[in-house]
Chain A
Amino acid sequence: MQGRLARRLVGSTMTGMTYGAAALAILPLAVILGMLLVKGAGSIDWNFFTKSAVPVGEPGGGFAHAIVGTLIIVGLACAVGVPIGVATGIFLAEFGGGRFGFVVRFIADVLNGVPSIVIGIFAWTWLVKPMGHFSALAGGVALGMILVPILARTTEEMVRLVPNSLREAALALGYPRWRTSLVVVVRTAAAGIMTGCLVAVARVAGETAPLLFTALGNQFFSTRVQGPMAALPLQVYVYALGPYDEWHRQAWAGALVLIVLVLALSLVARAVVRAKRQHA
């Protein structure tokens, strides 16, 4: 009797502790969101999304230049990173059994661990310095370089999940290997690959360090990709470190917009997976 009670107690305690650990893990996100909402929501207004920076002291400034800048730079990053990353992932899953596949996988894993500031310096050396000026293009390429190894590994995981029986069925129908990979395997893994892309893009949209050396930032609204461009995380950085209260307020608002963007992309990714599962 005593033994059974003791066992039940230990069981409940352990279960309770796992719940506690989970709550502790969610806590930082809840606190961050709460804090950003409290400090930043008040500064979000129509001007914030439509006006660019104005001289200190003037009212009505906004982050339009930074929001548009982030969209352009992230767009460039996707154009560079998504095709190369996803194609590499498909290669690794379908044809990556041998020595070459092993090497590619290893390099991708190493690149995933390289600090983003190093990627930024690399892009500075090879793009900014030869071009002679900072540019959104260099920023896009730097972020794209961060995307490639992430997407290669997540795409590989998703494509590997496609059961081998499907590949066999396609091959038995007389599909050549490339057609099997493209039409059957990739199509089946498409939702998972897209989810991987959305999550990776959400992560890359918030990277600041690589942009410091490449896009640099810009006080003015610009869509010229060959020149410096503002970006949300850069603008938050500059404003947060500045001496003006007005700037601080806007930095909070910018951080809130950034995290809402990340959350929105993650929610879309989950919705895609759920829709796929219901359809199946």
Chain B
Amino acid sequence: MVPRLATDALTAFYGTSTGVRDVTLACRQNTVTALIGPSGCGKSTLLRSLNRMHELVAGTRVSGRVLLDGYDIYEPGVNPVRVRRRIGMVFQRPTPFPTMSIAENVAAGLAVGQRISRSERAEIVEHALRRAALWDEVKDRLGDSPLELSGGQQQRLCVARTVAPEPEVILLDEPTASLDPAGTAHIEELVQELKREFTVVIVTHNLQQAARVSDVTAFFYLGELVEVGPTTRMFTAPTKPQTEAYITGRFG
């Protein structure tokens, strides 16, 4: 079975130096893959290469392939804008669009491309907010400014905004880094829900979080993929000594 998302010898460059080298990784459909490793190991660089966000910085480039359902998204002629509509991303800090209301924010990714009626749009907004576990808290104030929400609620709003256009893969870049424990717990529950419909890749600094939410864990160090495997095995019986050292907290 073709994995939903896979990389083949992927290397991401910043000018002449590499952020991450020769990564070959496969993410099966409806799984959560966690990318872990100490600061600067390249996990965020890899994540951003998966939806062609890495190339937005001047002087960067990518070699190797990233396969979405078997098709290379870096093939010449592929429009990166269309790739990003199929692979969504949630960032570390919540970024609601301040000039739009809550409902408009959720629908922001929809406007791109399709003509939808107002009632359809309202349905999609409700469905997305329910999936982000935010509907009950905002259903009476969909027209309000998102800046009135708490940090955790704003981050869930960003998740709703990302899932509304029904992407196939959702990338999460340390989504709970700026949240308090309650907000973090909400998002972690959310990830478990999301994997039923989407394929999720999450970068996290928090080892316990990786152990809690992911099915597969990939450990990176100094730009290389050191080891990847089922989460339970990675955390109980890692094969590489570096993996064990990181997991047991001896460094990083």
Contact with B along A170-204 (1 / 0, CB 8 A): 11111110010000100110100000000000000
- By a CB distance below 8 angstroms, the chain B residues around A280 are 98, 145, 147
Separation in Å of the A67 CB from the closest CB of chain B? 36
Interface residues of B in 70-125 (CB under 8 A from A): 81-82, 84-85, 88-89, 91, 93, 95, 97-100, 108-109, 112
Set B56, B93, B112, B158: member contacting A174, Cβ < 8 A: B112
Is B21 part of the binding interface, using a Cβ–Cβ cutoff of 8 Å?
no
A245 within 8 A of B: no
A267 interface residue (CB < 8 Å to B): no
Q: Is B243 interfacial (CB 8 A cutoff)?
A: no
A263 part of interface (Cβ distance < 8 Å): no
Residues of A within 8 A of B165 (CB): 173-174
Contact of A188 among B82, B84, B97, B145 (CB under 8 A): B97
CB of B65 within 8 A of chain A? no
A168 at the interface (CB under 8 A from B): yes
Q: Chain B residues near A8 (CB, 8 Å)?
A: none
B99 pairs with A172, CB closer than 8 A = no
> Any chain B CB within 8 A of the CB of A165?
yes
Q: Is the CB of B98 within 8 A of A173?
A: no
Beta-carbon nearest neighbor of B56 in chain A: A171
B58 an interface residue at 8 Å Cβ cutoff?
Answer: yes
Given contacts A97-B58, A168-B53, A280-B147, contact A173 B88 (CB under 8 A): yes
What residue of chain A has the Cβ atom nearest to residue B92's Cβ?
A165
Whether, in the assembled complex, A38 has its beta carbon less than 8 Å from a beta carbon of chain B, the answer is: no
Q: How far is the CA of A176 from the CA of B113 in the complex (A)?
A: 11
| Closest beta carbon of chain A to B76's beta carbon, Å | 18
Q: How many A-B residue pairs have CB under 8 A?
A: 60
Known: A168-B91, A169-B158. A175 touches B81 (CB 8 A): yes
Would you call A4 an interface residue if the criterion is a C-beta within 8 Å of the partner chain's C-beta atoms?
A: no
Name the residue on B nearest A279 (C-beta): B145
B99 & A168 in contact (Cβ 8 Å cutoff): no
Mark A134-168 against chain B: 1 for CB-CB distance below 8 A, else 0: 00000000000000000000000000000101101
Residues of B in contact (CB 8 Å), total: 26
Q: A179-B112, A279-B145, A280-B145 given as contacts; is B97 within 8 A of A172 (CB)?
A: no
The number of chain A residues touching the other chain, given as a range, is 20 to 34
- Please tell me which one of the listed residues A165, A174, A184 contacts residue B84 in the complex, with CB atoms under 8 A apart: A174
**Distance, CA A175 to CA B85, complexed state (A):** 8
Question: CB distance A172 to B84 under 8 Å?
Answer: yes
Asked whether B51 lies within 8 Å of A184 as measured between CB atoms, the reply is: no
Partner pick for A165 among B56, B88, B91, CB 8 A cutoff: B91
Query: Of the candidates A163, A171, A176, A190, which one forms a contact with B53 in the assembled complex, judged by CB atoms under 8 Å apart?
Result: A171
Residue of B53, B109, B158, B162 with most partner-chain A CB within 10 A: B109
B91 partner residues in chain A, CB cutoff 8 A: 165, 168-169, 172
Residue from A97, A173, A190, A280 having most chain B Cβ neighbours under 10 A: A173
Asked if B162 and A173 sit within 8 Å, CB to CB, the answer is: yes
- How close is A142's CB to chain B, nearest CB, in angstroms? 35
Instruction: Given A172-B84, A172-B88, verify A166-B95 contact (CB < 8 Å).
Output: yes
Tell whether B161 is near chain A: CB-to-CB under 8 Å. yes
CB-based contact B161/A173 at 8 Å: yes
Q: Complex formed: what's the CA distance from A196 to B95 in Å?
A: 26
- B residues in contact with A174, CB < 8 Å: 81-82, 84-85, 109, 112, 165
Q: How far is the CA of A97 from the CA of B82 in the complex (A)?
A: 25
Q: Which one of B93, B99, B100 contacts A190 once the chains associate, using CB atoms below 8 Å?
A: B99
Give A117 Cβ to nearest chain B Cβ, in Å: 41
Chain B residue at smallest Cβ distance from A163: B95
CA distance A169 to B100 in the complex (A): 14
Q: Given that A97-B58, A165-B93 are contacting pairs, would A173 and B99 also be in contact in the complex, using a CB cutoff of 8 Å?
A: no
Asked if residues B82 and A169 are in contact (CB atoms below 8 Å), the reply is no
- Interchain nearest-CB distance for B100 vs A (Å): 8
Chain A interface (Cβ < 8 Å from any Cβ of B): 97, 163, 165-166, 168-176, 179, 184, 187-188, 190, 279-280
Listed A/B pairs (11) with beta-carbon separation below 8 Å: A163-B95, A165-B91, A166-B97, A168-B56, A168-B91, A169-B97, A173-B85, A175-B81, A176-B81, A188-B98, A280-B145
